[in-house]
């Protein structure tokens, strides 16, 4: 039996009335007669294995259905036939591990429960080096998140129910802290600090509910304050102070 449906989303409306328990094979072929899609239905719903292929005959998709809902593993493929994504389903919802690939290499691993991100999620570059590690609870970022460049951690932040909450640190390539900030419900709270190489404070601003509550303090690499709000006296005035012996 041949059918002209182009995706599994459009198969059900064109099936018509069928025996509820009968397994009906469906095929789609191109003008040259090459098989492009095959599946089975039961009671007008996808049921069993669905396979889709490209014009060159390479696989594009493989998925299993149970009474119209994704069940088990689904694999998507790139044009060259290499896997692009694998994921696990239960009753139509993501359940278990999802992996995303590029050029045949895994660049993302995630865990799902009842269709929502849960637990550890990690991403990688094409060399296999880690680029991020995050943690989720019920689909929201929750806990420590770390971001990497060339294998080195460049940012570490804390999240609570999807919002920045707690201390966030940024690092240079030598592992030194270059920026420190604190958040509460996604708003800056407390001191926002930038550092010179070596650890001396460069700038410091105090925040409350995302708004600065005092002018920014700036320091040179020797720790001397240099901002206008705490500027050194002009040269002539410093000479007068020196001569007075103050």
% of the chain residues with pLDDT over 90: 77
- Considering the domain boundaries, does residue 56 fall inside one? yes
- Considering the domain boundaries, does residue 41 fall inside one? yes
Secondary structure percentages of the chain, helix, strand, coil, to 5: 10, 55, 35
- Considering the domain boundaries, does residue 200 fall inside one? no
- Considering the domain boundaries, does residue 218 fall inside one? no
Strands 152-160 and 163-164, by their bridges, are: antiparallel
Q: Record the pTM.
A: 0.79
- Considering the domain boundaries, does residue 181 fall inside one? no
- Considering the domain boundaries, does residue 54 fall inside one? yes
Domain span at 38: 1-81
pLDDT of residue 102: 96
Average pLDDT, rounded, for the chain: 88
Rounded to whole angstroms, how far apart are CA atoms 63 and 71? 8
pLDDT of residue 99: 98
Q: What's the pLDDT tens digit per position in 215-233?
A: 999 999 999 999 876 555 5
Rounded to whole angstroms, how far apart are CA atoms 174 and 166? 24
- Considering the domain boundaries, does residue 195 fall inside one? no
pLDDT of residue 19: 60
pLDDT of residue 230: 59
- pLDDT above 80 for 10: no
Rounded to whole angstroms, how far apart are CA atoms 111 and 120? 7
As a whole number, mean pLDDT of residues 109-121 equals: 98
**85 band by pLDDT with thresholds 50, 70 and 90:** very high
As a whole number, mean pLDDT of residues 8-20 equals: 50
Q: What's the pLDDT tens digit per position in 133-170?
A: 999 999 999 999 999 999 999 999 999 999 999 999 99
pLDDT of residue 129: 96
- Considering the domain boundaries, does residue 203 fall inside one? no
- pLDDT above 80 for 15: no
Looking at the structure of the chain, the number of domains it has is 1
């Amino acid at each position: 039996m041949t059918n002209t449906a182009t995706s599994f989303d459009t198969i059900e409306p064109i099936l018509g009335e069928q025996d509820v328990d009968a397994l009906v094979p469906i095929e789609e072929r191109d003008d040259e007669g090459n098989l492009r899609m095959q599946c089975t239905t039961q009671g007008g719903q996808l049921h069993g294995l669905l396979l889709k292929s490209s014009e060159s005959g390479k696989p594009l998709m493989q998925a299993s259905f149970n009474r119209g809902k994704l069940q088990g593993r689904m694999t998507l493929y790139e044009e060259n036939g290499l896997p692009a994504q694998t994921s696990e389903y239960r009753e139509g919802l993501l359940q278990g591990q999802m992996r995303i690939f590029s050029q045949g290499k895994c660049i993302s691993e995630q865990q799902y429960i009842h269709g929502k991100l849960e637990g550890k999620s990690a991403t990688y570059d094409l060399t296999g080096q880690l680029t991020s590690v995050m943690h989720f609870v019920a689909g929201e970022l929750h806990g420590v998140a770390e971001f990497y460049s060339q294998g080195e951690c460049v940012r570490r932040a804390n999240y609570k129910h999807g919002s920045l909450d707690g201390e966030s640190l940024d690092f240079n390539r030598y592992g030194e802290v270059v920026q420190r900030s604190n958040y509460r419900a996604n708003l800056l709270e407390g001191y926002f600090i930038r550092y010179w190489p070596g650890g001396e404070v460069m700038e410091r601003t105090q925040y409350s509910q995302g708004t600065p509550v005092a002018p920014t303090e700036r320091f040179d690499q020797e720790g001397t304050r240099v901002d206008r709000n705490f500027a050194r006296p002009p040269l002539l005035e410093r000479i007068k102070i020196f001569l007075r012996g103050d």
